[in-house]
Amino acid sequence: MKNQIEQLKRAKNAVILAHYYAPAEVQEIADYVGDSFYLAKLAKQSDANIIVFCGVAFMGESAKILNPDKKVLMPNHAADCPMAHMVADGIIEEMRSRYDDLAVVCYINSAAELKSKSDVCVTSSNAVKIVKSLPNKNIFFIPDKNLGSFIAKQVPEKNIILNEGCCPIHAKITADQLLTEKNNHPGALVLTHPECDKKVIELSDFAGSTSEIIDFAKASACKEFIICTEVGVDYKLVTDNPDKLFYYTNPHPCCADMKLNTPEAVLSVLEKEDKEITVDSGIREGALRPLERMLELGK
């Protein structure tokens, strides 16, 4: 299957992008693997004719919005991020009418329509930097309340208004589960994704995006880590650090949507060139500006 995928990629000038939560077999065949910000930048720069995006719907949509002339395929259109839709109808408009000086800051984990109503997008690796740089005092942060409260703590000069949304996978990681692991592995450092609950973040040694967690583990002299994020990062962590040990909270956090990106599905889209991502042109126009602003401010 690996050979078939390689041949088709070359023949069709296709590139495979995968998020760190995609299955290990898919990370192994991908041309580029990374966090949401890295993948969005790559999608913008790519000169391939076809982008096969092994992630969830908002990632494929963002690639298409940034690169409308490319064919963006997703191995399984059922792969969607539940949090991407967790913003109540009308609430953005309500916040805009309530505050004069408001910026709507939209986590990239969001549906294209929500992006189109926002002022700027962010990912977990650039959110603090971008929010700090905005001239507005009032920030309505959608959809993730956990990333929002993580930003609020680091940017106290802003009034961050939180929205009731969160990642169901990261939200299931509890402080009690983490304390059990800390008891089992007292010498381990705790590295956590900011989509986790603030009680989990408070018990951690470091909080950052998937690639920041991976970079931290590689650079650290410590040999043991408790990782509070989706277990797909284990492939890169173990590959980069064969001499280090990585533990996860129980049950292991697993995003079923990301796991729909199987090698079989990748081969099938490359063969058939079906499952193309399309974005309504009005929504695309509206969502392009906040995404481009993120690429500019996140530099």
User: Which positions touch ligand 13P (CB under 6 A)?
Assistant: 35-36, 81, 109, 123-125, 167, 193, 195, 209-210
Q: Choose, by CB under 6 A, the member of 56, 151, 178, 227 that binds ligand SF4.
A: 56
DSSP 8-state code for residue 174 = -
Q: Residue 81 or residue 265: which is nearer to ligand 13P going by CB?
A: 81
Q: Which helix (H) or strand (E) holds 247?
A: strand 245-248
Residue 86 exposed, middle or buried by CB count within 10 Å (0-12, 13-18, 19+): buried
Looking at 66-74, 79-87, 176-184, 276-284, which segment touches ligand SF4 (CB under 6 A)?
79-87
Q: How far is the CB of 100 from ligand SF4 (least distance, A)?
A: 32
Q: Residue 226 or residue 255: which is nearer to ligand SF4 going by CB?
A: 255
Other beta carbons within 10 Å of 23: 18
Interacting residues of 57 by C-beta distance below 8 A, sequence separation 6+: 74, 77, 79, 80, 81, 84, 111, 277
Q: Choose, by CB under 6 A, the member of 72, 83, 142, 228 that binds ligand SF4.
A: 83
Q: Which of residues 146-175 bind ligand SF4 (CB under 6 A)?
A: 167-170
Residue 26 binds to ligand SF4 (criterion: CB under 6 A): no
- Given ligand 13P, ligand SF4, none, residue 140, with its beta carbon under 5 to 8 Å by kind, binds none
Interacting residues of 99 by C-beta distance below 8 A, sequence separation 6+: 138, 140, 161
Residue 114 exposed, middle or buried by CB count within 10 Å (0-12, 13-18, 19+): buried
DSSP 8-state code for residue 275 = S
- Given ligand SF4, ligand 13P, none, residue 82, with its beta carbon under 5 to 8 Å by kind, binds ligand SF4
- Given ligand SF4, ligand 13P, none, residue 46, with its beta carbon under 5 to 8 Å by kind, binds none
Tokens 């990370």 -> residue:
27
**How distant, in Å, are the alpha carbons of 18, 95, 104, 121, 291 from that of 118?**
26, 12, 5, 7, 10
Q: Which of residues 244-263 bind ligand SF4 (CB under 6 A)?
A: 255, 257-258
Q: Residue 21 or residue 53: which is nearer to ligand SF4 going by CB?
A: 21
Query: Which residues of this protein are in contact with ligand SF4, per CB under 6 A?
Result: 21, 56, 81-83, 109, 167-170, 195, 230, 255, 257-258
